[in-house]
Structure 1
């Protein structure tokens, strides 16, 4: 999935601050002291929101072209990000698991400086027939 997505956002300038608000997302906004900073922050916040949505298995919103609600002090700009690196980062993120083993086995493994995570990952891959 090498998809480049582009989402519009509203940018306003008030009290020496540039405010960014993405049209297609709830709670996806940022700001900057300069227009350039606000636009860089817009791309960063979009990437973060998309990462969270992909990690949670939520569908990404369709790109909106509804600009009716824009007031006269606002302008429309666009931020784009590649989905593949975001999806890869979400897929590779570590997940903490709690497990129980006998104390004597834990003690012996710790004496030998066993990497529990590595052994568990290797065993699960083997069980699932995954070669890496």
Structure 2
């Protein structure tokens, strides 16, 4: 299901700040407008996903025409003039986004020789971490772990 919320975007010296007034002033930022929108999608998805996981209620989105980005900037003591601030709708399919970005790891069962298991345990090796690193190397993946 698609979740859509209005967000206030503020142009700043080093990029954009983004604030979701309906979501307890949830905020993020980006180096440029495209990056700020990507970060806004991630921020929105994370907020809603966490609320759902914790059984918390999710506020209803406001009508974007009822949001004054400049007034919010003044309320929050942001240095933004009218031409530096605008409201845009941010949308995300939280379930689809969570499957790709937030979901927990899967458990795998594997077998190794007993002597190798003992040596690794004696050395304090984290089996999951080593397996993940080895798979990323073998698959030529350089994605950070969430």
Could you say which TM-score interval applies, normalised by the shorter chain? Answer: 0.5 to 0.7
Q: Given the two structures, how large is their TM-score scaled by the length of structure 2? A: 0.54
Aligned mates of 1:67, 1:41 — CA distance in 2? 20
Instruction: Report the structure number with the largest CA radius of gyration.
Output: 1
Contact 2:4 2:90 in 1 (8 A): yes
Aligned mates of 2:12, 2:61 — CA distance in 1? 26
1:41 is displaced (CA, Å) by 0.4
* Equivalence map 1:9-88=2 (5 Å): 9-65=7-63, 66-68=66-68, 70-71=69-70, 72=82, 73-85=84-96
Show structure 1 runs of 5+ residues with no match: 95-132
Q: Could you say what secondary structure the match of 1:59 adopts?
A: coil
Q: Given the two structures, how large is their TM-score scaled by the length of structure 1? A: 0.59
1:42 is displaced (CA, Å) by 0.4
1:60 is displaced (CA, Å) by 1.3
Q: Deviations over 1:92-124 (max 9, x none)?
A: 759xxxxxxxxxxxxxxxxxxxxxxxxxxxxxx
Aligned mates of 1:8, 1:21 — CA distance in 2? 9
Q: Quote the residue 1:126 is aligned against.
A: none
Show structure 2 runs of 5+ residues with no match: 71-81, 106-146
Q: Could you say what secondary structure the match of 1:38 adopts?
A: helix
Please report the RMSD computed on the Cα atoms of aligned residues, expressed in angstroms. 2.2
How many aligned positions are there? 89
